[in-house]
Every structure is written in C-alpha cells, then in structure tokens.
Amino acid sequence: MDRAQRDDSLRDAQRKEFCDLYPMTSNEALKERFDLSSGTIQRWARELGVKKDLSYRREVQRKNAIGRVLSAEARAKIAAARQGRSWTPKQRVKTLQTRRERGVNRGERHYNWKGGRPWERFKKPEYLAWRNAVLDVMAMSARAVLANARNTSEVLRLIISSRTPYIRSCATNSLMV
C-alpha cells in the first residue's frame, strides 16, 4: 500500500468517525478531537451531509437560555413573530393530554388561589341592610343635588363632573323623566 492510499484510508476512517460523532458532539470538542479549525468542521459537515441531532440542539438551546433575561423589545419581537401561527395537530393533542393529567388551572388548582371570596357574608341580612342604607343615603344626596340644579344644562354638568356613579345615574334618570 503506497502512501497516498494509506492517507486516503486514514482520512476515510477519520471522516466516518466524524460522521458518527458530529450529531451529538459540540464543534469545540470536534476541533480538539480531530485537530481541525471550526471552518473545516463546518465544511466537512456540509460536504458529508451530516447535521446536529434535534435533541442535541434543543439541549444546547435550553442550556444557553437559562438565566437569560429578555428586554421588552426582544419579547415584543418574539411575540410578533409568533403571532398568527397555528398549532400542529400533535401540539394540540399534547396540550389536551397535559390538561387532562394536570387538570384545569382554575379555582383551588390555580397557583395563586387565596381561598376564594366569602360569598356567604353578602347574603347575611345585616350586610344587606347596611348596603341598602348606604344606597338610600346616596340616593337622597343625589336627589338633593339635583333638586338644587336650576336647569337641564346644570344637570348635565353634574352628570359629567360627578365622580359618584350613583349621582350620575340618578341625574341621567331625572333627565329622562
């Protein structure tokens, strides 16, 4: 075997090993292993038609993303790029499966649940009496304000300027009568 054939066979063995290692190995490790430049690594991959494995790429992206904080502009740009994309059937099935397993994030299952509102207290007669008394006082003051209004334009001014919704609604109703 002459020297050229020996170099070719060595190169073929090296390229076969390269094809086996490339999908799951970083380019830095390949540079050290084969003593090549990064440009040669990329050229060999292109010539041999090998690509990084999808699971390897995801792992690298996950490691690179940990601890990264995006600016508001970057988040807006990502959101704009994501806008209008539809889910694949596979994504829909996975989402539904996860919801079935974990349940819906409502009520007590929601992470921010604080015990709910105590609706029972709103049904108690003491509360209802107090609420009606407050509303009656507001109605009387609204009627008193409206009684002092000299004309329709003043009533309209009261409607616009009043910060109390109840006075506004009473004034609006008095205009309609």
Residue 110 inside a domain? The answer is no
- To 5 degrees, how large is the angle CA 152–CA 157–CA 159? 95
Lowest mean pLDDT among 44-48, 98-102, 142-146: 142-146
| Residues of the chain above pLDDT 90, percent | 14
Cα separation, 156 vs 169, in Å, equals 11
Say yes or no to pLDDT of 148 above 60. Answer: yes
pLDDT tens across 10-27, in order?
Answer: 578 888 888 898 999 999
Residues 7, 70 within the same domain:
yes
How many structural domains are present in the chain?
2
Token output for 133:
């008394």
What is the residue range of 154's domain? 124-176
Residue 136 one-letter amino acid: D
Quick check: is 162 in a domain? yes
pTM > 0.85: yes or no: no
What pLDDT score was predicted for residue 146? 67
Residue where a domain terminates, one of 74, 91, 115: 74
- Kindly tell me if the per-residue pLDDT of 152 is higher than 70: no
